[in-house]
Structure 1
Amino acid sequence: MASSTARPETRRGPHAQDVARRLLDSAATLSYDPATEVDWETPLDKDFHGASPEWSTLYGTAYWREMTDAQRKELTRQEAASVASTGIWFEMILQQMVLRDIYAKDPTDPGFQWALTEIADECRHSIMFARGAQKLGAPAYRPHRIAVELGRAFKTIAFGEAAYAAILVAEEVLDVMQRDWMRDERVVPFVRTINNIHVVEESRHMKFARDETRRRLAKAGRLRRHVHAVVIAIASYVIVTSMVNKDVYQNAGLDRKRALREAGANEHHKSLMRSSCAGLMEFLASAGLLTRPALAFYKRAHLI
């Protein structure tokens, strides 16, 4: 993605341009309008879960076994809304990083046009997530103030592989859980539709993020690679630990302190996160981004 006046190292090669063209073609062929594709009119049916119960942070705990079926369903609805709200937060960070990356570059470049297409997708997704969370009967969940400020700093200074690999981590983690939710008939139908739309369109975003991460790393020296490996790991930790807001338990009518204690010790959920991120960790390892300091953050977030 480069203009004629850009430095030579920023110019996209034939392979990168070919990837962007194929993604543009895919977007033109298979994209959705959530305003018309999602059933926003039918009232929320509380006989359904908001997410696959196995993905609940309390699934498998003593507390989960004591909960009524209605409480379990309400908890998964609150958790799904929290994940959606976290998704909006990170998509706003993503959009700013991508816009900054293509600023003043060649608009005729397919990579430039794909970047704008991705931003347009993310705008629609954010609106879709917002409406979905509202329909689930949840409040506006926001990350902790520290996470918000770290995100503010990250979107301002992150560049190259640090930006694109962090984008990939957030998208991959959401993708795995949403693939389960969209196929699960226990999940309320409109949420399944939202998840299907996001999975289909994010698959293109993940392809681009992987390609950009490899391309930027090809020009990175040892020091930059090691520094960015830690930056990506910290960003991943903040994103993953912000997905389920601590207020979901109280809003689901549960004992907040007990729920937090049992969720924090839930080995089932930790194991599920690790297994779902196996492919992502394999990619990061192949890219040389699983350094010893970075591994500490991934382990703490139960991603490896």
Structure 2
Amino acid sequence: MTTHQSVAQRLLDSAETLSYDPVREVDWETPLDTAHHGASPEWSTLYGTAYWAEMTPEQQRALTRQEAASVASTGIWFEMILQQMVLRDFYAKDPTDPAFQWALTEIADECRHSIMFARGAAKLGAPAYRPKRHVIELGRAFKAIAFGEAAYAAILVAEEVLDVMQRDWMRDERVAPFVRTINNIHVVEESRHMKFAREETRERLRGAGRLRKQVNALVVSIAAYHIVTSMWNDKVYANAGLDEKRALREAKANEHHKSMLRSSCAGLMEFLDSCGLLTRSAMHFYQRANLI
């Protein structure tokens, strides 16, 4: 068994030992308690701004609930892209290979996660947040043509950013208990997905030349930019009862939130750099997304 296959087998064994059924694990029946946040306040796009200081605690909680639902909705959108890329990558490959079986296991996980996020967003009292139309169309093209390290590194970017946020939220008693359970399930199961994405990225880059790395580094950074900038939908402010124009203006200039994003991506950027995927052109898009 190769090293690559050994990693996949360990992930399969881990999934068999520790996996969750959100239908049973999450408390879907208890009504939403509006005394709770939807996410740690420090992760709000307005935390630390003058507007945040003026908001009542009720408004702050309403905003973090809408923001958490927006992040979850973006997660669903990208998980659907992820599933299609992985299915296409393993189409007609050896089904006896542990990597093939792990790929199907990951897809099954992502299906459960997407349903879980959808139910969670609905319970938070949020509408169906979606990326902007041009981002949806770019995602449609990306899932159809991305392959190899471009696909798996982009998967890793989306998963790692969400992972850092959710590790904070799942430990925060200010956050609604059912949201904390959702975050815990996702963190535990997504840790295996991230390990696989890192392994696949390294494996696909083995022997890759400079030009290929330059091109794919740029592709991944553009994907990362659109994923991260889609996480907090512009409509969350109006849906939380706030002045949308003022909120957007202050959120855009919020240095605290930019700092939170940069700190969440330190390990990711180190990994991309070690793989030769943190080029000057790629850094431009990571900086625009406040990831570096």
TM range (shorter): over 0.9
Matches for 1:51-70 after TM superposition, within 5 Å: 51-70=39-58
Moved over 4 A (4+): none
User: Within 1, Cα distance between the matches of 2:136 and 2:90?
Assistant: 24
User: Within 2, Cα distance between the matches of 1:275 and 1:82?
Assistant: 21
Q: 1:196 aligns with which of 175, 184, 191?
A: 184
Q: Give 1:180's aligned residue.
A: 168
Q: 1:33 aligns with which of 1, 6, 21?
A: 21
Q: Give 1:241's aligned residue.
A: 229
Q: What is the deviation of 1:219?
A: 3.0
User: Within 2, Cα distance between the matches of 1:273 and 1:281?
Assistant: 12
Q: Give 2:109's aligned residue.
A: 121
Counterpart residue type for residue 235 of structure 1: A
User: Within 2, Cα distance between the matches of 1:110 and 1:276?
Assistant: 31
Q: What is the deviation of 1:285?
A: 0.6
Offset from partner CA, 1:111-161 (integer Å, 9 cap, x none):
000000000000000000000000000000000001100100000000000
User: Within 2, Cα distance between the matches of 1:159 and 1:223?
Assistant: 16
Matches for 1:123-138 after TM superposition, within 5 Å: 123-138=111-126
- Unmatched tracts of structure 2, length 5 or more: none
Matches for 1:219-238 after TM superposition, within 5 Å: 219-238=207-226
User: Within 1, Cα distance between the matches of 2:105 and 2:158?
Assistant: 19
Matches for 1:3-152 after TM superposition, within 5 Å: 14-152=2-140
Counterpart residue type for residue 196 of structure 1: N
- 2:263 is aligned with 1:264: no
Counterpart residue type for residue 228 of structure 1: N
Give the match's secondary structure for 1:195: helix
Number of residue-to-residue matches in the alignment:
292
Give the match's secondary structure for 1:253: coil
User: Within 2, Cα distance between the matches of 1:77 and 1:133?
Assistant: 8
User: Within 2, Cα distance between the matches of 1:211 and 1:109?
Assistant: 15
Counterpart residue type for residue 117 of structure 2: F
- Unmatched tracts of structure 1, length 5 or more: 1-12
Question: What is the Cα-based RMSD across aligned positions, in Å?
Answer: 0.5
User: Within 2, Cα distance between the matches of 1:142 and 1:262?
Assistant: 22
Q: Give 1:4's aligned residue.
A: none
User: Within 2, Cα distance between the matches of 1:207 and 1:89?
Assistant: 21
Offset from partner CA, 1:48-107 (integer Å, 9 cap, x none):
000000000000000000000000000000000000000000000000000000000000
User: Within 2, Cα distance between the matches of 1:144 and 1:297?
Assistant: 18
Offset from partner CA, 1:147-182 (integer Å, 9 cap, x none):
100100000000000000000000000000000000
Counterpart residue type for residue 72 of structure 1: Q
TM-score, normalisation: structure 1: 0.96
User: Within 2, Cα distance between the matches of 1:15 and 1:166?
Assistant: 23
Counterpart residue type for residue 290 of structure 2: H
User: Within 2, Cα distance between the matches of 1:183 and 1:245?
Assistant: 24
Counterpart residue type for residue 50 of structure 1: G
Q: What is the deviation of 1:223?
A: 1.0
